[in-house]
Amino acid sequence: MREAYFEDGVRAGRVSPDALADNFADLHPEFAPHEAAVAADRCYFCHDAPCVTACPTEIDIPLFIRQIQANRPEEAARTILDQNILGGMCARVCPTETLCEEACVREAAEGKPVEIGRLQRFATDAMMRTGEHPFDRAPSTGKTVAVVGAGPAGLACAHRLAMLGHDVVIHEAKPKAGGLNEYGIAAYKTVNDFAAAEVDWLLGIGGITIETGSALGQGITLAGLQDVYDAVFLSVGLGGVNALRVPGVELEGVEDAVAVIAGLRQAEDLSNLPVGRHVVVIGGGMTAVDAAVQSRALGADTVTIAYRRAQDAMPASRYEQELATSKGVRIVPGVQPVALIGNGTGAVHEIELEYTEDKGTGLTGTGRMLRLRADQVLCAIGQTLMAPDGPALDGNKIAVTGAGRTSVAGIWAGGDCAAGGDDLTVTAVAEGRDAAMDIHASLSA
């Protein structure tokens, strides 16, 4: 994280190519076979395993770990993928520290859980290296389903439907499939273009066509899809972003963190990516942490996460917070932005923050202020649904019942756009898979 080029302003080339390679190296490299064997030996193979209950996709974790222990990683992968077809990506990005590993009996007894996530990666990577697809497609049903959005929920839904014999067309607005797996996750969590490789591998089931550059309101409509297809699954994610409503937001250097991460993920040469010398990230979730850590990795001198509530209320897990601080990111909780101050030439130079308090009646400002240097401010204050016409909403998301049924007959929804679930890749996969089973039952009735 050193070698920064300490000149103010947002600019590229703050660290050497070698330092960039180190800074963006794989966060958790794959186990070697002997390491996987040692890690698998720590599992108690619980009969009523709490780790399975804690997994949103309900993978049989003791079974796949026992299969690794028996030196059958491809069989372990099939156990995983039967429940979670994006098990390779989930092994990399799932907050296992608050899901399966937090529930692990070893964690409760020793404070050190079985490394379930890395064992899952070991198995799924072994399967992908074979180039084989572990599932066969059922005979064609003659039914067709439209999936809108090629993120985790859409891909999981499409794969399960195709496996059951239906023909699926995925309409994806962006140039590449993958959704947040492709555009929204820190580069050090998914190296070597893994998201795209996983999509290509998933398509090996057959029966799935992806049409990129195809979005609701831009050539296709829900009514039009219903006329053509036997069912529709919406997995459109959260395409809008919440606005930062403070004076100075129009200054140069004030940017949307989601867009910055997407640009980084698609960059061919990281040395060409600009970053500020002093970066402030507004927000407390995973996006804020990813943006902050990657800003440090690009060579920012100081990076601060400013969050309006107490640190233990941050949506980002304790592990992610500790990762950020280990990389030199400062976390300042209990502050909210009130103004951005320019340098006189149209660029941001400082941010003014107000300390907050919550006395049980809601968050309020205290009148005490803090100013920080900031030539780049990244806003990670949440995303919003760009709601399609038709389905009823529950708050700011699509209302669903059961396995993703919307208020409109023949239309299902899942993933971040649907109400009720956590905004996690693994949850999106579970919702897509379960909606596919419900669609199949409906089409088979």
What is the rounded average pLDDT of the residues 273-280? 97
Q: Is the pLDDT of residue 1 over 80?
A: no
Average pLDDT over residues 250-264: 97
Angle 428-183-274 (CA atoms, 0-180°, nearest 5)? 150
pLDDT band, very low/low/confident/very high, at 422 (cuts 50, 70, 90): confident
pLDDT at 403: 97
Nearest Cα to Cα of residue 67 among 22, 147, 111, 124: 124
Q: In the predicted model, is pLDDT for residue 4 greater than 70?
A: no
The ranges assigned to domains in the chain are: 17-25+241-379, 33-130, 144-239+385-444
Pick 144-239+385-444's CATH classification: 3.10.580.10, 3.40.1450.10, 3.50.50.60, 3.90.950.20.
3.50.50.60
pLDDT at 39 over 60: yes
**Residue percentage of the chain with pLDDT more than 90:** 92
The pLDDT, as a whole number, for residue 5 is: 56
Given this model, what pLDDT does residue 7 score?
77
Determine the average pLDDT of the residues in 117-142.
96
Residue whose tokens read 């796949």:
64
Question: In whole angstroms, what is the distance from residue 263 CA to residue 258 CA?
Answer: 9
Q: pLDDT of 67-89, one tens digit each?
A: 999 999 999 999 999 999 999 99
pLDDT score for 309: 96
Average the pLDDT over 429-441 and give the result.
Answer: 98
Question: How sure is the predictor about 3, in pLDDT bands with cuts at 50, 70 and 90?
Answer: low
Q: What is the dihedral of CA 113, 97, 430, 187, to 10 degrees?
A: -120
Diameter over CA atoms, the chain: 68
The CATH number of 33-130, from 1.10.3720.10, 3.10.290.10, 3.30.1330.100, 1.10.1060.10, is 1.10.1060.10
Q: What is the pLDDT of residues 342-353, one digit of tens each?
A: 999 999 999 999
| CA 195/CA 347 separation, integer angstroms | 35
Q: What is the mean pLDDT of the chain?
A: 95
Question: pLDDT tens-digit profile of 198-217?
Answer: 999 999 999 999 999 999 98
Q: How far apart are CA 302 and CA 373, in angstroms?
A: 9
Q: Nearest Cα to 193, choosing from 214, 176, 170?
A: 176
Predicted confidence at residue 361, as pLDDT, reads 85
Please report, for the chain, how many H helices and E strands are present, in that order: 17, 19
Q: Please, are residues 78 and 88 in contact by the beta-carbon 8 Å criterion?
A: no
Q: Do domains 33-130 and 144-239+385-444 have the same CATH topology?
A: no
CA–CA distance, 178 with 95 (Å, rounded to integer): 19
The yes/no answer on whether domain 17-25+241-379 falls in CATH 3.30.365.10 is no
Distance separating alpha carbons of residues 201 and 131, to the nearest angstrom: 8
Tens digit of each residue's pLDDT (9 = 90 or more) over 282-332: 999 999 999 999 999 999 999 999 999 999 999 999 999 999 999 999 999
Q: Label residue 55 by pLDDT band (50, 70, 90).
A: very high
Task: Categorise residue 343: left if φ over 0, alpha if ψ from -120 to 50, beta otherwise.
Answer: alpha
Ranking 46-55, 274-283, 367-376, 386-395 by mean pLDDT, the lowest is: 386-395
CA-to-CA separations, 337 to 242, 261, 351, 363, 382, in angstroms, rounded: 14, 21, 7, 13, 15
Nearest CA-CA partner of 274 in 283, 264, 265? 264
| Average pLDDT for 266-293 | 96
pLDDT score of 381 more than 80: yes
E-strand stretches of 124-179: 144-148, 167-172
Write the DSSP string, 389-433.
Answer: SSS-EETTEE--BTTTB-SSTTEEE-GGGBTTS-S-HHHHHHHHH
> Average of pLDDT values for 384-399?
92
Please give the order of strands across the beta sheet that includes 302-307.
254-256, 376-379, 278-282, 302-307, 329-333
SS3 364: strand
* 3-state percent breakdown (helix, strand, coil) of the chain, nearest 5: 40, 20, 40
Q: Which of 63, 36, 37, 68 is nearest to 51 (CA)?
A: 63
Q: How far apart are CA 158 and CA 147, in angstroms?
A: 7
Residue closest to 235 by CA, chosen among 413, 395, 66? 413
- 212 forms beta bridges with 172
Name which of 313, 315, 293 is nearest 304 in CA terms.
Answer: 293
Would you state the torsion angle of the CA atoms of residues 15, 16, 22, 23, taken in this order, to the nearest 10 degrees?
Answer: 20
Q: With the CA atoms of 406, 219, 205 and 155 taken in that order, what torsion angle do they form, in degrees rounded to the nearest 10? A: -50
